[in-house]
């Protein structure tokens, strides 16, 4: 069903988006304002997926400049635009979506003060509906867009499928506690690290050390530590939560240890986990 062609009350949309848009600078890219199809990282896309209740594939139909008096606070290097776009596919969103949407976007100007051509560009849009305004979308972030490409399409859909699961990995808030238990022989031991997550989802990390064997680590998402748990596969939502959410070093005040050497082992095992996870990989 086509959305109504009723006049857009632009000031209401800008009131909802203006503060967020002016608070964070847009990336200054030469001809685009979104994640490049060739360089999008898993974590860049995941950052947008996990905060966006609405994810749609759109093609820009029309892009109109917003008058300066309606774009107060927008840096002179940016042009605020009102974008009309046709919906190609709904990837995430309760209650469906109209077949045409509108959103406000601050676009970088070039050296001559011009903005890149937006019409007919195909994009992924990450945001949420504006309450009471059919077809109006509020971006999750000022630059919550990604260029369309088959690679990005597969990536966005794969991450979204993980993110909508009831037991999807949640954001890590902090390290709750950690301790190291030495074994009965030299070089043997186990380190357990318990994490605090956004919705109190149980997450614990375990590192096992045995003489003449390579260290092994695992992550468990059960109340009782799962003996069959393993390290997360790279470029999954669980890997992303750990690689991008864990502090780079284990806070000393979270280590429960009666001996200094046990605390040192816990620190070393935590570093082993961080190294095994590798970098978060954000490019934005």
CATH number of the CATH domain containing 41: 2.40.50.120
Please report which confidence band the pLDDT of residue 7 belongs to, taking 50, 70 and 90 as the band edges: very low
How high is the pLDDT of residue 143?
A: 82
Assess contact for 268 and 276: CB atoms under 8 A: no
Give the per-residue pLDDT at 187. 86
Taking residues 30-38, report their average pLDDT: 43
Closest CA to 129 of 84, 88, 85, 93: 93
Count other Cβ atoms within 10 Å, centred on residue 217: 21
C-alpha distances (whole Å) from 206 to each of 12, 176, 223, 224, 225 are: 51, 14, 14, 12, 9
- Percent of the chain exceeding pLDDT 70 equals 86
Q: What is the mean pLDDT of residues 190-209?
A: 95
Is residue 110 located within the same domain as residue 193? no
Q: Is residue 182 exposed (0-12), middle (13-18) or buried (19+ Cβ within 10 Å)? A: middle
Range in 7-16, 37-46, 85-94, 231-240 the model is least confident about: 7-16
Domain boundary among 163, 198, 228: 163
* Separation between Cα atoms, residue 95 and residue 56, nearest integer Å: 13
Q: Single out the residue in 111, 139, 163 at which a domain terminates.
A: 163
Tell me, yes or no, whether 232 lies in a domain: yes
The C-alpha atoms of residue 173 and residue 64 are separated, in whole angstroms, by 41
Number of domains in the chain: 2
- Cβ-proximal residues to 94 (8 Å cutoff; 6+ apart), any chain: 53
Question: What's the rounded Cα separation, in Å, for the pair 60 and 247?
Answer: 40
259/180 same-domain check: yes
Between CA 75 and CA 90 the distance in angstroms is: 32
Alpha helices in 149-283 (DSSP H): 150-163, 237-245, 260-277
State the pLDDT at residue 23: 32
Residues 62-80, mean pLDDT to the nearest whole number = 91
Is residue 54 within 8 A of residue 85, CB to CB? The reply is: no
Is 32 in the same domain as 85?
Answer: yes
Q: Is the predicted pLDDT of residue 8 greater than 90, yes or no?
A: no
Which pLDDT belongs to residue 173?
Answer: 97
Cα distance between residue 281 and residue 12, in whole Å: 37
pLDDT tens column, 217-271: 999 998 877 777 899 999 999 999 999 999 999 999 999 988 999 999 999 999 9
Q: How far is CA 105 from CA 84, 101, 123, 186, in A?
A: 11, 13, 13, 61
Split at pLDDT 50, 70, 90, the class of 24 is: very low
Q: Which domain holds residue 207?
A: 172-277
pLDDT at residue number 225: 73
1 pLDDT exceeds 70? no
Residue 9: pLDDT band (50, 70, 90) is very low
Kindly state the average pLDDT of the residues 50-73: 94
Distance CA 140, CA 284 (A): 15
Flag whether 268 is in a domain.
yes
Tokens of 100: 């045409």
Is the same domain home to 106 and 236? no
Question: Taking a C-beta distance cutoff of 8 angstroms, is the pair 129, 14 a contact?
Answer: no
The pLDDT, as a whole number, for residue 39 is 61
- What does the radius of gyration of the chain's CA atoms come to, in whole angstroms? 23
The arithmetic mean of pLDDT across residues 151-162, rounded, is 95
139 and 159 within one domain:
yes
C-alpha closest to that of 41 among 152, 199, 117, 192: 152
| C-alpha–C-alpha distance, residues 40 and 156, integer Å | 10
- Reply yes or no on whether the pLDDT at 26 is more than 90: no
Dist. CA 61–CA 121, nearest whole Å: 8
Q: What is the mean pLDDT of the chain?
A: 85
């Amino acid at each position: 069903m086509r959305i109504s062609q009723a006049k857009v009350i632009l000031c209401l949309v800008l009131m909802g988006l203006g503060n967020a848009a002016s608070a964070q600078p847009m990336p200054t890219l030469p001809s685009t304002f979104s994640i490049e199809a060739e360089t999008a990282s898993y974590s860049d896309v995941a950052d947008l997926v996990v905060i966006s209740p609405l994810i749609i594939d759109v093609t820009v139909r029309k892009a109109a400049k917003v008058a300066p008096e309606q774009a107060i606070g927008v840096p002179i290097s940016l042009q605020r635009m009102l974008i009309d776009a046709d919906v190609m596919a709904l990837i995430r969103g309760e209650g469906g979506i109209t077949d045409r949407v509108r959103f406000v976007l601050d676009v970088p100007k070039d050296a001559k003060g011009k903005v890149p051509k937006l019409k007919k560009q195909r994009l992924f849009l990450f945001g949420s509906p504006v309450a009471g305004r059919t077809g109006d979308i509020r971006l999750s972030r000022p630059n919550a867009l990604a260029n369309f490409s088959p690679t990005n399409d597969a990536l966005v859909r794969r991450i979204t499928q993980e993110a909508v699961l009831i037991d999807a990995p949640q954001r890590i808030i902090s390290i709750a506690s950690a301790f190291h238990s030495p074994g009965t022989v030299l070089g043997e031991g186990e380190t357990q690290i318990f994490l605090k997550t956004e919705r109190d989802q149980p997450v614990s990390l375990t590192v096992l050390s045995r003489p003449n064997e390579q260290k092994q680590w695992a992550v468990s998402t059960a109340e009782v530590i799962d003996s069959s748990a393993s390290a997360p596969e790279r470029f999954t939502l669980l890997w992303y939560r750990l690689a991008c959410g864990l502090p780079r070093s284990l806070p000393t005040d979270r280590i429960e240890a009666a001996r200094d050497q046990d605390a040192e082992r816990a620190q070393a095992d935590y570093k082993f986990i961080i190294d095994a996870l590798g970098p978060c990989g954000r490019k934005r």
